Structure 1
Amino acid sequence: MELTAGISLTRLEIGLLERAKSRLGEAVLDPGQWSSLMEAICGAAATTGAALLQSDVRTPDVPMTPSVADLLRDYFDNNLHVGDIRAARGMPLILSGRSVVRDQDMFQSETVMLRDPLYATLTRFRFRWFSGISFQSGPAMWVMTLQRTIREGMFDDAELRALGSLSETLTEVATLSHAVGKQVLLGTLNAFELINEPAISVSSTGLVIGLNRAATDLFDADFRVRNSRLYMRDGKASQALERLLWERPRDSEIRLPSRGRVGNVIVAGRESKKPILIRVLPVHGAASTPFLGARAILVLRDLEAERRPPLEILSEVFSLTIAEARVASKIAAGSSPDEIADALHISRETVRNQIKAIFGKTGTHRQSELAALVARIQI
């Protein structure tokens, strides 16, 4: 069957598309909105699912609608992203000035199209027809992919023109998201600096996006940034971090699979010094925008350095017991209640009660407030 730009079985609704377009700015401060925003676009375009993919660096931690989650998991697990024929044939068209591409632009017939392994996978998930809306975030080219089922039919010319109107707005939103996210991430790294915690932000591919001065101060021949990536002489630690960053999270947390009880901590050994402990934290809020690419914040603890939390001072200043001061110090350093209970060999209920007492005595309500307060009396 020849692929032609005929009339599809379902039609795009302009009014609904304009409404969805007007809401795209919501994703600047809350990247978690992307899924629902794309669902609104899908509803307007009579399309089952959507996702955001970068043209040259495709990673599994991208925003997507739940309807294509299983498809994209298979797409990445089977390395279909490496030789994606849509990217190979579609990007030259986009670079030539097209704001939207579709199957008919890349294949002469449906028979030829279905011979490609990607389309065989799509068929298994009852998908077939595609259109991609191009947009930019700085020098990076992105595509919002819209995926229709076999029954929904291919995208026609009128629908393509309507979808093209999203390209400019998506570029504006992506550009602003990158700028806002970068400032928020910088503020987070500076907050760790205030409590003398070395911290590095990295992408899912291990690219270093930002770091604070405390992190730079502990670099040596075994642990440093090289070619914009974190280099560790300890190969096992490097592999553990790489696996953790690449794995697409099912929620907002990052968890390190382990038989032991180290939680989300990687131990990076060094040749002639004590190890560095790397605590892996998720990126939240505007800093988690896909256009910045920050996947995690690595909080570093150099076991070679002497760190003596001023427990007596904390106790005296805020009228805390020594036990409460010990918990307060760990909260300020970013430890979770469960981690504190494990580290101090006390029950979780005891930790929760002590945290309530600490917040009451210090007049704080959140971990970030307590961290900033403790930072002011560090000596």
Structure 2
Amino acid sequence: MAKKPSADESIAALYTAAIDPQQWDAALNGIAALADARAANCFVHDAQTGSFLEYRFTGYHSGWADAYASHYHGLDLAREVLMREPSGHMYAMHRYLPDHVVERSEYYQDFYIREGLRYSCGGMVVDGDFRLIMAVHRPVDHEPYDDSTIQSLQRVLDHLPNIFRVRQTAAQAHVRTPMMSAALDALPRAVIVVDDEMRVHYLNAAANTMLERSTEIRVQANRFAAADPHVAPQLKKRIRDVCAACPAVEPLPLYAHDSAGRPALEVHVVPLKPQLSLQFDRQTRPLAMVLPRRRFQDPAQPAGSERPFSLSRAEMAVATGIASGLTPAQCADRAGVRISTVRSQIKSIFAKTGARRIADIVALFGD
């Protein structure tokens, strides 16, 4: 004889079913076993119209649900009890519907008892625009529900709103996954989603293109890594930091260098919101987004050149001054020129190096 599940086991099974719809039958069978019943069901009603939005059931003969939804739910005396009594409680219907009422009821005589059922215990919870109903049903040769069983079922009912919110979130995530992937693929910037062990869960189109052409980063055996031995441990630490329970995000990027020692890639690491993690292989552990970007145009830098990127002496002085912490005004004062001259030199530095902001100059010339 199978072991009777506990209320906690039944609750856990319902949460599992909320994420994986194929587990609903197993979860409802668990509730029926908890109640020593033959059948169990969960309904979702529109709170305004009373119409069925969905129903899940187990333990009935074929055609039962369609017959109930199309006709007999309007005659269901147990449903009337749930609509009349305060919500949020499980009610053993034998305490509200005595035998003489059952004997005169079309619902009981033509439908419920003919199904081989006699004793029901149900509860309803109003959650926003929805009524959530859970019920279990014992056969005609069984005893009515005792207080201990009703208390166990009450614990399950208390979780029902959260279970259906999880179900709704999981369903929305399932629908959004293709949309989200298409949106990320449309981004010109590379996006790589990894976990704290550097396993890759997603690569957008730009990331695949970058990895085909890059020598600075790579994916091997489904694990992400930087080729630079100095950058690799820093990158691994940042990914673990943002995947921690309390994410720690370093605002300054890492720089992966090319074979000539120049900063070729700017790499940011940020946490992926927990509610989005389910969209990547139903992942529940924290994930990180690695955002690599090729920072500069390929420089036409002659080998052995004293001044990189073909900068003039004045431009080189401005670049190194800014990299050392000077403002453009301080660079002008030091060189004895107007601030407008320094601004023109900064524009020339941008054009020659491919930099787009002062921070890029600092990163390029700061060491």
Above 0.5 in TM-score? Answer: no
Instruction: Quickly name the TM-score band, shorter chain normalised.
Output: 0.3 to 0.5
Structure with the greater alpha carbon radius of gyration = 2
Q: Which has the higher contact order (CA 8 A, sep 6+)?
A: 1
Q: With structure 1 as the length reference, what TM-score do the two structures score?
A: 0.42
